[in-house]
Structure 1
């Protein structure tokens, strides 16, 4: 099995460590997304895989092919890596037709004419652009140009496909459609794919696994469902989708139930076990769509029912976004039904709560560090 393997990868720009000792394995045929905010190191990691940036240290291999090894000073240039790379800008040759754009990389590889024609027809059918073979890029829409850019990469059959925010130039509707056919194409040809984006929806829709990055490190690596429902930190919880994050203190734990005193007032019951080694202070994350307005608070039971003040409302089409306040805690609530009053009851389901150990106050952290 051909794996992409990254070991102890580091890359520094001046005093900034853009990639900080990353370890990552991508299985053959897997669609893995590097996801994170600007400056987190995802594009630098992709550039190192592609050979566009030379890392400071570590090792990158694809199967038995060593792309980079800092220990032996091995560095294979991009053209020697047998990879396909699609950028945010499609970089199509404007003076060449679609067919000529696809033919160019095959000519460089000295593929015979008959085989070139066969591959071009095959890949144009794959991206549903066969009827546009004789058009020039300026006569194509953004979505069509994006398909041609992908086809030009696939036509020479790379062992590894690297995609750097390829959908970011498309409008919202086109991006939604493009996600569907891109995932379908990748699964049909089973090419190992590393995808870079800051768009959480894209990552959730496309990926087999997601590597969430922050500060040059991978802070969580898991399936989309696992990252969404079981985030490893408050950062991941808030970056993937959105989350209400507030603080509290553990009152007691018994029979698989944790009872918390919220800093904003009131008590919250959750089946989530407290984080291992916690001092008693915790952070609680709850997705906005999990919070319910209780038309009849009694129907929600007596646990986790709170009275909130509604501060703002937004109509989103199929749903509403309501900003509410529970004591000192600001909450975002995404709902199908909203109350017409300024004061309402909400229910926070116990199973919707994810607990994290609260970070130590800066003064305490400094004291501990000084003592060490």
Structure 2
């Protein structure tokens, strides 16, 4: 396995300066939300502003001008955007996190992507649906790869496929393939009620050649890699946990945004039929209090779990599988723990809540779209946990 040769700490950038830079972009994000939704894609100007601020280099290896930032800081940046536009936050997260996986790949592949332009972005569609044929020097791949969020802004895509068995390997092998935009087209099929501006369109590849060094056979992604992998500590984190964080932890920012909008809407609102001011209504006060508690609990759990993973990596400890699955299940459940509170806020808003321009409407739709993602379905992880325990 190739390694990133950077010898810097994970936390080499100033997290506070990056947070300030992200917050400075919020007015632009708010001003372009409606147009981004109409286009079903985050505007190129927004992506360019993120690049100008250096935000999209958070997970990028230092040797290519990146920051190799602690994931907790990366996802804090994402949550700045999530408070105001979940689509923008989603695209920021998934475009950022591709650099994490690329940081595990062959330095030649990294050079192909960032050698001429360190701001080059990569999208992905990891489901191994591609038709793969081994050839001299690499592979040929074809297929339709769905839900590639932010793909219109990327110069490359990482897609999945199963390499057929051969004499040396009796079983098929899941492998990722790094493909330049010149070798695929984007089919704009994305048309949804929520997360509209994520531009999660299909990437279509017709018999592209991918050299072997631009492919990667990932592990299961649940356990940290050992020091013998040769990777720096950041890239030894469980890749599936880091990837899932990009579509799960933004629930924290989204819930904060919903709570702020709901609280603001209750300050001057009078209840129906003489029920008094909403700000004094115990039901309103209850959901506000419970939301504050739950958001704090989710955020603390997120940070605590990364603390534990970082400690295991720094000590080169083997993490028990049941512990790794527990963290994965907790992460996967974040969105579904917080959305019901926003559901309750919507009901309490009554008629105002169902208006298209209501204070929570678009955020609520976006959160519902996000909780439909398989990566936000804890039931699948719970089933895996049960299987592990039964086979222990």
Give the shorter-chain TM-score range: under 0.3
TM-score by length of 1: 0.27
The structure whose residues are more often helix, as a share, is 2
- Rg larger for: 1
The structure whose residues are more often strand, as a share, is 1
